[in-house]
Chains A and B, each alone.
Chain A
């Protein structure tokens, strides 16, 4: 029958076609799978090192950071500065708009993402047959970064969940309660102590510059212990709830914590490697120097100048003037004598306010008359750098100058080393001074401050005390150290946390944030009148950051900080 022939040929043809569909490559074959990253044959650990490189990118930055690249300095949320642009989130810290959903700097998800990556690295790197010595250093670096990220969390929130070396899987229960403040500090300190012997000892070679050196571990430990000894955390917490108090700080005061902070500072000083540079200005633009202990590495650029220099400079040296330092900060700088400007002997002239000041002032802010790109900065009303109208411009009469290279004789910007200093030797000296003073060793504290003032270019004075009065009391010295820390470490992300840990934020960031109104008279003379830029508000809950709203919904074991 003819149809049978057709049927059989049809069936055969179909069968052949279907059989021919042997499938290969049903999924992407070019993916980087974990077997490639943790290659158990690669003695060079090529891709595993890439993984560590990525962990390095979690080291925090500090330049124009709030709200992303081109944003604001954290200091614009303190009494040191305001953002030049209005309605910026950084200013929420001083105008009372911070809420659990509106906190521009939570650092929560980022920190835990970094911590997870460290833990993945630690649990996998042993599969890779690299040299034992290298692996040990890598692990130490990863652990250090983890400790650093925890410290970022702790300084914001107090105690946070410590997850150890765990790498979570989807099945894990993530309702993890917060560890106490004490546990967190102990963890950070013990991690620093554990890795400091393995990290690269100084001097770090040129090609390895930027890798974590031994000193960084000691510096982190020192800062953690200094914070822990400070009034807010050392028994002075604002919470009345016993549980919460233990999460947000030590429940009771212990003077010995200052000793620990001092010991850590001395440990670093005792390395006899780190030192103050002769010039304050060069510290920030010289990529490798013995004052920088750890800095966030970045490619050479002129973003700092671009974002923050006075707005009157146009293309090719376009400057956006995003940061407006306050009169409050400017007033904190002493005169060249080291004496406070309120001191009658200081030589301060309110109608010539920038003459004979601490040389650091001119390296920290731009004020009217300073030279930049071959012209004088004009922040008087209607001047090139304060033209008025709705364009973004300084709100205070000042622009940020710190971290910039000296372009006063150039016509345009060139690429510069702009690594954000995370730890530098001055801070260690200030830490030591603070701890010494709190331990009652005020005289020793004075010598530490003198070191800093001497380098800054303050005149020694006839008594060779650099403006520090003889027989200074502990309380007076405390204020002096706090002020010295404010001006020496301005815009290095210290002020924001310092005023909190000292518990002075309620006075420092309430009341008027001032600027300087400069009017150019018809006879070309200038009249200086301080004016109020904004009125800052502070409430006690701002001593700690609010845990992110989403997180408290997702993890019901998280106890929210006091007041939020």
Chain B
């Protein structure tokens, strides 16, 4: 082995009960970076990168290869872990080179389980998990919220006092909020309790059959997963399930046949079909996201309205209907009950057929292999929704009811909707010639020639790209030699291309070379090195790989077109003012566009001590991405037209990975292990055609991808004198507002005082610690995982008081008494300099560094004496969990999961903590 590869076994993956495959990988593989921003059933897969990110074009996704066939991100998330034998990530040039123009972001290679010779073996597994959010904001109650609302009004009024000013809530109102004596006129609702379950459930079951003879081997597996949502089941009495849920059936049949002595056939049929359900919520401003409602103060303040009126009808209030009409959406419980659901159904059917012919009669060790795979995904959406039901504003003084909407006294019928969703079909053909032979048990020679053709047709929300075939074709080769496993050398080359580019820019040659020296195999080694060092190896590789996935908004850049679609303003002519069609020149073409390339350097040292009970490695890499498609930033607007991207960007990404592990020998049934890994990948934009700004601190070039410009928070304005003596601001400030550094010293706070600061949202350091103990039939394992050096910023409904519901931190909003001990700027209902959206600053952009107990398992193997009577060979019961504990620096301001996307404007469906109980048996 001369390349950089990290692997994890299927068994280890199965210790994590998470429904999306990638969530089980964090912390287990050095060089694997992931971030799980959401826990929504069916959409809880983390985004992940190999060795961080190297391109700012928007696509840093690794190539995913499952059983030699390319998978999409979504397909990958839905693989049933029960089907996995092994998962590896390929990180350097030599291992990714045969993937050519698709290998630059690294490659994930999954191999599935296959039958072994032997009697049929049936295994089953049944699991039930309880899930709850890792964190969900706890909001203050009605009394405190109303009091703070008053305070904000008092603060705002003090700027320009109005003689008739009265805060919104009187002392009597506050008293009633506090003592709860008027639950209808002055409700105090804990929406978290009203809306969400204590625990949601997740079920998983697997059944597989494997075995075989010399001629035929088989592995057949079926799996079922049901992930329920955290919402209470409001829709049930309407005969619909409007909760969030995800239901998935996986199936796989892997067959291996030896047709003749020299011909092997492989036939795999596999896939899954699933349903993802979300409630129709009807949030304000068309969000349709329950968590928007939950986080929004103006939609669901604790005093927004009583859920039910005394007569059992749904409640509402004039507070929203009359005072905040833009938030006038109906009673949330009613909406969840009556509005129905939106559902995506997908079915994924795949086939791989492969034939391997040994050509030993020509020369020993030679074989050819042909492979055809057909993968398809078909999705459609189904919705059952409605938009009307009555709710009433109860007047406790007069005991009367007023309809929220005088035109609505009935529950409208459901309406059925149907639409096509993601559909794709991929045809892949591969033909390869393989040679692998060892001469004199010294000279190991191997070679591979591969022809690969891939054609994808997929639906796209942009009609222009809908079902346009996307073809890829390539030749790759690999030649390797090693001498006594002591000196190793390998050459790789790929010549491949993609029809996303103009004809003469389609193909490119991408070579890589690697070498290794296994010092511990040298004759002199035993004499010159201490005895306990039993393995020492150095290796390195260098090469060029490419990335043809050019961001999400890929277009045929080489072709200019005119558009009469969106954004073309047509004029009105004529006395009767008719609107006339317009046509406009589109972005210019660039027929030089081609893929990105990356020069990858990888150096590593591996060692083993004490009979390889201690293993370790150190890996250094230096990747230089170039030809990144970049929209030129230095072209004057005099040009008058949008410019096409040009292959000119450069990013350097370098770092290292350290791996250390200890596996104790087993002594009287007791053994333990401890393994740690630490990965760093720091990227730096080297060139992105950025005009040189007036102030160097505003340059993005030289910083990491994804860093933003923000003001530097230097404290709160203390008083009027402080304001008078501070640099002038564009909007008037009050004591308690955030004060920013005047970086250019011109006495004004403006756009020039924003500097590129903080960290990007993607961590540049991740680490994992894996521990395990086994004593006879009991084993316990734990996996801690952490991430460092990334920043998170929340805006609007996720943090801003009175956009967001109020949290503990808002209690410490600035007052003259708190002064610098305040944790939040002064309360206000207006925008202003402290607003996180309009004035992004380092106050809001804070480190999200975290350490979590990513998963843990306690396993008990039932004694065979007990099970054999039942015809069970082997049985075990276990409890495991994921996201069990979290320690993060984010909680100094936000009550959000640290893996949330930066710039988030509301609470998202929180990632889930799972506690999973399972039994498994083999017959």
Contact = CB atoms under 8 A, between A and B. Distances in A.
Interface string B674-717: 00000000000000000111100000000000000000000000
A291 B581 CA distance: 28
Nearest to A58: B569
B752 A47 contact: no
Counting chain A CB atoms within 10 Å of each CB, the highest count among B453, B568, B640 belongs to: B640
Nearest to A4: B361
B285 interface: no
A92 B751 CA distance: 14
A463 interface: no
Given A3-B263, A108-B637, A208-B574, A550 B691 contact: yes
A274 B359 CA distance: 95
Contact of B573 (A31, A99, A169, A209): A209
Interface residues of B, number: 80
B357 A7 contact: yes
Given A174-B638, A388-B164, A3 B469 contact: no
B402 interface: no
Interface stretch (B582-590, B779-787, B870-878): B582-590
Contact of A37 (B562, B568, B643, B692): B562
B828 to A, nearest CB: 10
A120 B563 CA distance: 15
A83 to B, nearest CB: 13
B582 A17 contact: no
Counting chain B CB atoms within 10 Å of each CB, the highest count among A17, A36, A117, A170 belongs to: A170
Contact of B750 (A36, A51, A99, A169): A99
A97 B730 contact: yes
B162 A298 contact: no
Contact of A553 (B355, B563, B693): B693
Given A51-B584, A102-B750, A33 B638 contact: no
B750 A389 contact: no
Given A87-B730, A388-B162, A299 B574 contact: no
Interface string A1-30: 111001100100110011001010111101
Given A3-B361, A28-B556, A170 B636 contact: no
A25 B355 contact: no
B638 A176 contact: yes
A440 interface: no
Interface in A110-124: 112-117, 120
Interface string A49-78: 011011011010000000000000000000
B865 interface: no
Contacts of B570: 53-54, 57
A10 B370 contact: yes
A90 B635 CA distance: 28
Contacts of A59: 571
Nearest to A163: B638
A287 B577 contact: yes
B724 interface: no
Interface string A285-326: 001100000000111100000000000000000000000000
Contact of B471 (A26, A102, A174): A26
B571 A297 contact: yes
B469 A25 contact: yes
A55 to B, nearest CB: 8
Contacts of B259: 6
A273 interface: no
A303 B913 CA distance: 51
B575 A207 contact: yes
B156 A390 contact: yes
A382 interface: yes
A309 B582 CA distance: 32
B445 interface: no
A374 to B, nearest CB: 23
Contact of B640 (A18, A56, A113, A298): A113
Contacts of A548: 637
Given A31-B561, A32-B564, A54 B569 contact: yes
A87 B731 contact: yes
Given A6-B263, A54-B583, A210 B556 contact: no
A14 B832 CA distance: 68
Contact of B637 (A37, A54, A112): A112
B468 A390 contact: no
Contact of B577 (A17, A297, A555): A297
Contacts of A300: 577
Nearest to A110: B637
A511 interface: no
Contacts of A206: 574-576
Contacts of B637: 108-109, 112-113, 548, 550-551, 554
A553 B368 CA distance: 59
Interface in A192-231: 206-211
Contacts of A3: 260, 262-263, 357, 361
B829 interface: yes
A87 to B, nearest CB: 5
A168 interface: yes
A407 interface: no
Given A10-B355, A208-B573, A32 B583 contact: yes
A417 B576 CA distance: 9
Contact of A57 (B465, B569, B731, B831): B569
Interface in B611-643: 633-641, 643
A211 B573 contact: yes
Contacts of A389: 162, 164-165
A28 B573 contact: no
A13 B431 CA distance: 12
B568 A54 contact: yes
A21 B468 contact: no
Counting chain A CB atoms within 10 Å of each CB, the highest count among B584, B634, B732 belongs to: B584
Counting chain B CB atoms within 10 Å of each CB, the highest count among A36, A50, A174 belongs to: A50
A208 B572 CA distance: 10
Nearest to B589: A170
B579 interface: yes
A1 B362 CA distance: 13
Counting chain B CB atoms within 10 Å of each CB, the highest count among A33, A37, A208, A390 belongs to: A390
B464 A23 contact: no
Nearest to B359: A7
B468 A25 contact: yes
A554 B640 contact: no
A347 interface: no
A422 to B, nearest CB: 13
Contacts of B455: 21, 23
Interface in A210-267: 210-211
B559 interface: yes
Given A3-B361, A17-B372, A31-B559, A102 B730 contact: yes
B774 to A, nearest CB: 48
A369 B684 CA distance: 65
B439 interface: no
B820 interface: no
A268 B829 CA distance: 54
A549 interface: yes
Nearest to A59: B571
Nearest to A29: B468
Contacts of A297: 571-573, 577
Contacts of B157: 390
Interface in B134-163: 153, 156-157, 162
B504 to A, nearest CB: 15
24 contacts: A3-B357, A7-B357, A10-B370, A14-B429, A18-B429, A18-B453, A23-B469, A31-B559, A51-B562, A51-B585, A53-B581, A54-B570, A57-B568, A97-B750, A101-B752, A112-B637, A115-B640, A170-B643, A210-B571, A210-B577, A288-B575, A298-B572, A389-B162, A390-B830
Given A26-B469, A209-B574, 9 more contacts: A14-B370, A32-B564, A34-B562, A97-B730, A112-B639, A117-B584, A208-B574, A210-B577, A554-B635
Q: Which 5 A-B pairs have the closest CB atoms?
A: A116-B640, A54-B582, A50-B583, A553-B691, A57-B569
